[in-house]
């Protein structure tokens, strides 16, 4: 991971310290949750495929469960205060992947 701090839409992620702030308040993320958030926010505005996430976050090319990413994304959304029914920060592009929205 590069040491670049990313800040998008009130979410600040510091990979060197492995810390996250939402609207200035610190929020604790478990290891995989942090890695998933970082993989998305470091490419904010870009589509990140599920295959890329499995490689970067879980360091595997095979899927142990098709729900692994969905469950972790749900946890990350909740911690960010993002409504899972109508997410505004992390959106799902069906059949393609996920995107951390920039606006």
33 within some domain: yes
Q: Kindly report the CATH number assigned to the domain that includes residue 59.
A: 1.10.10.10
Residue 60: what pLDDT? 82
Residue 1: what pLDDT? 47
29 within some domain: yes
pTM: 0.92
Residue 64: what pLDDT? 62
pLDDT tens sequence across 18-70: 999 999 999 999 999 999 999 999 999 999 999 899 999 998 877 666 688 99
Residue 85: what pLDDT? 87
Q: How many domains does the chain have?
A: 1
8 compared with 3, residue with greater pLDDT: 8
1 within some domain: no
32 within some domain: yes
Residue 68: what pLDDT? 87
Assess contact for 47 and 98: CB atoms under 8 A. Answer: yes
Whole-Å CA distances, 75 to 2, 27, 28: 24, 12, 11
Residue 2: what pLDDT? 52
| For residue 72, pLDDT beyond 50 | yes
Strands 11-14 and 6-8: antiparallel
Tell me the residue range of the domain where 42 lies: 6-100
22 within some domain: yes
């Amino acid at each position: 991971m590069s040491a670049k701090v990313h800040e998008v839409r009130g979410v600040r992620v510091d990979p060197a310290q492995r810390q996250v702030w939402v609207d200035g308040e610190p929020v604790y993320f478990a290891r995989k949750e942090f890695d998933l958030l970082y993989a998305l926010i470091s490419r904010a505005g870009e589509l990140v495929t599920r295959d890329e996430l499995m490689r970067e976050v879980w360091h595997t090319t095979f899927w142990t469960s098709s729900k692994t990413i969905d469950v972790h994304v749900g946890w990350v959304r909740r911690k960010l205060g993002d409504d899972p029914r109508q997410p505004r920060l992390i959106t799902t592009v069906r059949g393609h992947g996920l995107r951390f929205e920039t606006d």
